[in-house]
């Protein structure tokens, strides 16, 4: 039979999956003989069973809980519900991964109208007994019964006012009795029932509430952001209460063994005398720095320092501990690996190695790759952020903090920048490739529509711009140039707002930002990651500037150069449009000839900046309508500029209209219709490579054909590329090696990858389109309904962010296996947005890809994730 409840002395640190982080550490500390109040842990398996059983705790588990309670009572020599010798407990959540503040805690369980009197008598401290009781009623009502906390706070404030008391600690026993009376009255008014007097009922209700809190909305969001699966469940820890509010010889506090913001090796903590834990967190009273405890209780201080040292040495990591001093005696209530800023994480990892505590591999595993983001982007000043109000929330599409004045068109943003404006936020319903210049001119981008792989998100990440996308809570009127936040506040052009691209929060005000600080530890740490990883890391970069940035972040090549972005530059768009409206091949070739030198010089810039690393250049991919205006007025202006009739231009635009452009005339289909486009692009690539090689570098370009689903279409386009390339090489009279390969982004291509590999010299998985087509929902629109899917637990994660390993992953595995079957040395990469997502990177490592490619700013994340994957799957596939 499965065991669902463990006494603290039955477990240890290795049982984290079963006992949760907190439970496992309480058990470990008990085993080490530290002063831990006694108790037991109800396992995470009991939580998953609770959900399986329809949100019910079954009789077997209940029985085990009461058995463990009875055993604990025996050890501590107290009894639940006995007024003469009461046993009181805390009930706390504790999942496998720490989720601070996401789930619930209830203290002082076991008190009722009679027990409180007994406790007062026993301790000779009536004030303490009623203070504990009022805390229980309030917490129980809030956490278990869902009665708003503010209603209790109101009563507390009233009584403080009536008695002219400003500090909670100055409330008398009589004041507290009155608070208890009014709290119970409120409880009855709200619940039409008395506050439960039976301690066993309190306990079971509290455990149920903690299980329930696993699925509260903030926990669901936290899990999604932190890659924590919903089926892990939380454990519940039931522990003997010790009291920091027993008088001035008692207190409570938290401490870190190292500074969590800088990593400095120095005990860092705070405490409050005569208080319970939540007082420290709530900030009603200002806590004292830990050093001052020495003056109040030298013995407890020394003991604590010793224990802190011992715990850090034992766990070989910086610890975050909670302690309580009850009548002069020290108790440790919790220890865990402390949360820390990214720079502290690096400092600690480097220091722990120097101190001989851990080796490089252990150090690599200690840093969360996603955290590195904050080292590369600006952040808001923490104090200002704390006081700021979130006026809308969207998707955290590209990290960083931005503050600026709003502009509603890309042209306006670009214009403002030219006029010297330094703080610009571009607010759009959605962005299109045409907006690129305005996006570049902005510090941040806010869109009402679009998901994590929408145009705005992809481009912003590439540029390192902060972006909040799919923010349905705002209403934008682009024509009249204003938007409303969720409180219906209006923002006109030039008004200040701030965006947090790491959380998706929008603030309706100017907030101060701080620049990231990159320390020498970063370079040291990344060097270790590079030594360990076997998976290559390239970047998606479209311009010579992006390529230079990518190299700086440690990219070992370009995995995807989306050539279409080059065509939107103001000096190129005219030729591009001329090409699109051409009525015959001659006209089209004429226009393409204008584009050729521009493309060639871009490619030369990229090749030069990449200093011999491989560069994969993709042929034109998006549907042609994206290059033409849609608004009537803009069409008229453009027709005039192009010296053609309005009717002709309008006719072309109408002709290009598609009901579903993402599945329309795009990718290699363009090259099938207009081979001259592929010819021009191939010529530009090969000529650029030859020119750069002449300067003494060694460039081997990789030409990539997008959106292939059928071997014959690949062959058709490949032949155009090869014939053109060979001709250019012949003309130049110098040898050049090049590869022609394909994106694998249509499910049919993955399924027939053995055939595709007959022509393709490399595959690059386009997991954005592959996800879109495997799920059958649009990468631009899915965010509109995915929220409901998360709330209803149908999906836990956005499949455009974290690879769906079960479905889309299977297509990738199939592509790898079949591709290698035909061409054992085939080069395999991935260039969808998943290339910068740590758990997806681990998957790509496991299935044996050669490299991942992601936006330049995510390159360090991918490098670290790849190193962690190598450590976690030692001996598996994956090679540079």
Among 28, 412, 769, 804, binds Mg ion (CB under 5 A): 769
The alpha-helical segments, DSSP class H, found in 283-324 are 293-296, 298-315
φ, ψ for residue 7, nearest 5 deg: -70, 155
Identify what 562 binds: Mg ion, ligand PEP, none; CB under 5 to 8 Å per kind: ligand PEP
Q: Tell me whether residue 721 is one of the annotated catalytic residues.
A: no
Q: How far is 719 from 706, CA to CA, in rounded Å?
A: 15
User: Which residue, 89 or 746, has its beta carbon nearer to ligand PEP?
Assistant: 746
User: Which residue, 115 or 773, has its beta carbon nearer to ligand PEP?
Assistant: 773
Nearest to 853 by CA among 756, 767, 742: 767
Site for Mg ion in 85-144 (CB under 5 A): none
Please answer whether residues 23 and 235 qualify as being in contact, where contact means their C-beta atoms are separated by less than 8 angstroms.
yes
By CB under 6 A, which span of 48-56, 580-588, 766-774, 804-812 interacts with ligand PEP?
Answer: 766-774
Among 105, 202, 343, 768, binds ligand PEP (CB under 6 A): 768
Which three-class secondary structure state does DSSP give residue 428? strand
Site for ligand PEP in 606-635 (CB under 6 A): 621
Which three-class secondary structure state does DSSP give residue 238? strand
Smallest gap from Cβ 15 to Mg ion, in A, equals 45
- Quick check: 462 binds Mg ion (CB under 5 A)? no
- Which run of H or of E encompasses 199? helix 199-213
Q: How far is 442 from 436, CA to CA, in rounded Å?
A: 10
Smallest gap from Cβ 772 to Mg ion, in A, equals 8
Residue with tokens 């107290």: 78
By CB under 5 A, which span of 531-539, 605-613, 655-663, 763-771 interacts with Mg ion?
Answer: 763-771
Please answer whether residues 721 and 703 qualify as being in contact, where contact means their C-beta atoms are separated by less than 8 angstroms.
yes
Between the two ends of the chain, the Cα-to-Cα distance in Å is 47
User: Which residue, 250 or 771, has its beta carbon nearer to ligand PEP?
Assistant: 771
Tokens representing 133 are: 């009781």
Among 234, 443, 767, 840, binds ligand PEP (CB under 6 A): 767
User: Which residue, 251 or 706, has its beta carbon nearer to ligand PEP?
Assistant: 706
User: Which residue, 576 or 652, has its beta carbon nearer to ligand PEP?
Assistant: 576
User: Which residue, 831 or 867, has its beta carbon nearer to ligand PEP?
Assistant: 831
Q: How far is 829 from 189, CA to CA, in rounded Å?
A: 63
Measure Cα distances from 177 to 120, 276, 730 in Å. Answer: 12, 18, 96
Among 562, 588, 683, 846, binds ligand PEP (CB under 6 A): 562
User: Which residue, 345 or 831, has its beta carbon nearer to Mg ion?
Assistant: 831
Site for ligand PEP in 689-748 (CB under 6 A): 745
Q: Of the residues 466, 721, 831, 854, which is catalytic? A: 831
Q: How far is 505 from 384, CA to CA, in rounded Å?
A: 14
Q: Tell me whether residue 466 is one of the annotated catalytic residues.
A: no
Measure Cα distances from 116 to 180, 238, 342 in Å. Answer: 11, 20, 46
Which three-class secondary structure state does DSSP give residue 829? strand
Please answer whether residues 457 and 399 qualify as being in contact, where contact means their C-beta atoms are separated by less than 8 angstroms.
no
User: What is the β-pairing status of strands 536-540 and 558-562?
Assistant: parallel
User: Which residue, 203 or 831, has its beta carbon nearer to ligand PEP?
Assistant: 831
Size of residue set near ligand PEP by CB under 6 A: 10
Identify what 767 binds: ligand PEP, Mg ion, none; CB under 5 to 8 Å per kind: ligand PEP
By CB under 6 A, which span of 314-322, 472-480, 677-685, 764-772 interacts with ligand PEP?
Answer: 764-772
By CB under 6 A, which span of 34-42, 121-129, 354-362, 763-771 interacts with ligand PEP?
Answer: 763-771
Among 766, 799, 836, 856, binds Mg ion (CB under 5 A): 766
Burial 418-449 (b: 16+ CB within 10 A, else e): eeebebbbbbbebbebbbbbbbbbbbbbbbbb
Q: Going along 455-531, which residue ranges are E strands?
A: 466-469, 475-477, 482-484, 490-492, 496-500, 505-507, 513-514
x/- track of binding to ligand PEP for residues 769-808 (CB under 6 A): x---------------------------------------
Among 129, 139, 560, 708, binds ligand PEP (CB under 6 A): 560
User: Which residue, 279 or 745, has its beta carbon nearer to Mg ion?
Assistant: 745
Size of residue set near Mg ion by CB under 5 A: 3
Please answer whether residues 66 and 47 qualify as being in contact, where contact means their C-beta atoms are separated by less than 8 angstroms.
no
Site for ligand PEP in 100-119 (CB under 6 A): none
Site for ligand PEP in 819-878 (CB under 6 A): 831-832
By CB under 5 A, which span of 69-77, 201-209, 446-454, 741-749 interacts with Mg ion?
Answer: 741-749
By CB under 6 A, which span of 332-340, 501-509, 721-729, 761-769 interacts with ligand PEP?
Answer: 761-769
Cα dihedral sign, 782-787-788-789 = positive
Tokens representing 429 are: 């319903």
Please answer whether residues 23 and 98 qualify as being in contact, where contact means their C-beta atoms are separated by less than 8 angstroms.
no
Q: Of the residues 47, 377, 455, 466, which is catalytic? A: 455
DSSP state of 165: -
Q: How far is 275 from 292, CA to CA, in rounded Å?
A: 16
Query: For binding to Mg ion (CB under 5 A), which residues are involved?
Result: 745, 766, 769
Q: Which residues are catalytic?
A: 455, 831
Query: For binding to ligand PEP (CB under 6 A), which residues are involved?
Result: 560, 562, 621, 745, 766-769, 831-832
């Amino acid at each position: 039979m499965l065991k669902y409840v463990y006494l603290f002395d039955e477990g240890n640190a290795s049982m984290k999956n079963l006992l949760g982080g907190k439970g496992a550490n309480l058990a470990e500390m008990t085993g080490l003989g530290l002063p831990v109040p006694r108790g037991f842990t109800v396992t995470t398996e009991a939580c998953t069973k609770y959900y399986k059983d329809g949100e019910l705790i079954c009789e077997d588990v209940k029985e085990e809980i009461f058995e463990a309670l009875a055993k604990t009572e025996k050890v501590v020599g107290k009894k639940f519900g006995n007024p003469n010798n009461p046993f009181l407990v805390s009930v706390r959540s504790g999942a496998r991964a720490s989720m601070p503040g996401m789930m619930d805690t209830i203290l002082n369980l076991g008190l009722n109208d009679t027990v409180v009197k007994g406790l007062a008598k026993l301790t000779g401290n009536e004030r303490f007994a009623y203070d504990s009781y009022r805390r229980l009623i309030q917490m129980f009502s809030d956490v278990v019964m869902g009665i708003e906390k503010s209603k209790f706070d109101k009563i507390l404030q009233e009584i403080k006012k009536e008695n002219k008391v400003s500090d909670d600690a100055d409330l008398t026993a009589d004041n507290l009795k009155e608070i208890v009376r009014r709290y119970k009255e409120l409880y009855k008014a709200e619940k039409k029932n008395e506050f439960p007097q039976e301690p066993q009922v309190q306990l079971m209700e509290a455990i149920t509430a903690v299980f329930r809190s696993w699925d509260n909305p903030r926990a669901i969001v936290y899990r999604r952001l932190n890659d924590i699966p919903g089926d892990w469940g939380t454990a519940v820890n039931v522990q003997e209460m010790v009291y920091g509010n027993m008088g001035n010889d008692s207190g409570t506090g938290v401490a870190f063994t190292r500074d969590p913001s800088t990593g400095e090796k120095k005990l860092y903590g705070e405490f409050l005398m005569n208080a319970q834990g939540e007082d420290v967190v709530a900030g009603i009273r200002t806590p004292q720095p830990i050093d001052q405890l020495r003056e109040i209780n030298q013995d407890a201080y020394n003991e604590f320092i010793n224990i802190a040292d011992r715990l850090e040495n034992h766990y070989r990591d910086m610890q975050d501990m909670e302690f309580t001093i009850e009548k002069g005696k020290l108790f440790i209530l919790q220890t865990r690996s402390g949360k820390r800023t990214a720079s502290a994480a690096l400092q600690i990892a480097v220091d722990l190695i120097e101190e001989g505590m851990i080796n490089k591999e252990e150090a690599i595993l200690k840093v969360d790759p996603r955290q590195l983001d904050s080292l590369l982007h600006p952040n808001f000043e923490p104090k200002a952020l704390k006081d700021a109000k979130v006026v809308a929330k969207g998707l955290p599409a590209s990290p960083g903090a931005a503050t600026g004045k709003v502009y509603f068109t890309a042209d306006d943003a670009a214009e403002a920048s030219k006029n010297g404006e330094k703080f610009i936020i571009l607010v759009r319903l959605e962005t299109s490739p045409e907006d690129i210049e305005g996006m570049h001119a902005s510090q941040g981008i806010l869109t009402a529509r679009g998901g994590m792989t929408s145009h705005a998100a992809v481009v912003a990440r590439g540029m390192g711009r902060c972006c909040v996308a799919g923010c349905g809570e705002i209403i934008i009127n682009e024509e009249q140039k204003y938007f409303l936040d969720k409180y219906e506040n209006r923002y006109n052009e030039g008004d200040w707002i701030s965006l947090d691209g790491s959380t998706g929060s929008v603030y309706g005000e100017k907030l101060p930002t701080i620049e990231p600080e990159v320390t020498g530890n970063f370079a040291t740490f990344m060097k270790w990651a590079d030594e360990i990883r076997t998976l290559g890391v390239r970047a998606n970069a479209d311009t010579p500037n992006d390529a230079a940035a990518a190299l700086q972040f440690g990219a070992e090549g370009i995995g995807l150069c989306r050539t279409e972005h080059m065509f939107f530059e103001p000096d190129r768009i005219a030729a591009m449009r001329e090409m699109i409206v051409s009525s015959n091949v001659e006209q089209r070739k004429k226009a393409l000839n204008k584009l050729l030198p521009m493309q060639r010089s871009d490619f030369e810039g990229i090749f030069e900046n990449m200093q011999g690393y491989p560069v994969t250049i993709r042929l034109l991919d998006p549907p042609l309508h994206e290059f033409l205006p849609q608004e009537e007025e803009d069409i008229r202006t453009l027709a005039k500029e192009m010296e053609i009739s309005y009717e002709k231009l309008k006719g072309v635009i109408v002709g290009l209209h598609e009901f579903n452009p993402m599945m329309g005339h795009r990718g290699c289909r363009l090259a099938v219709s207009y081979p001259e486009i592929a010819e021009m692009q191939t010529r530009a690539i090969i000529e650029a490579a030859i020119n750069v090689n002449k300067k003494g570098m060694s460039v081997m370009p990789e030409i990539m054909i997008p959106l292939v689903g059928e071997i014959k279409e690949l062959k058709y386009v490949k032949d155009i590329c090869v014939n053109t390339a060979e001709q250019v090489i012949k003309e130049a009279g110098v040898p050049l090696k090049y590869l022609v390969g394909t994106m694998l982004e249509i499910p049919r291509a993955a399924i027939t990858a053995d055939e595709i590999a007959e022509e393709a010299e490399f595959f690059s998985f386009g997991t954005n389109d592959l996800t879109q087509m495997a799920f059958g929902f649009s990468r631009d629109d899915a965010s509109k309904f995915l929220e409901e899917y998360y709330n209803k637990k149908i999906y836990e994660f956005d499949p455009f962010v974290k690879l769906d390993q079960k479905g889309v992953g299977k297509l990738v595995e199939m592509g790898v296996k079949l591709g290698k079957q035909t061409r054992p040395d085939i080069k395999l990469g991935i260039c969808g947005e998943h290339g910068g997502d740590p758990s997806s990177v681990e998957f790509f490592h496991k299935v044996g890809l050669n490299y991942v490619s992601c936006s330049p700013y995510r390159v360090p994340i991918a490098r670290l994730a790849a190193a962690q994957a190598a450590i976690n799957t030692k001996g598996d596939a994956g090679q540079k």
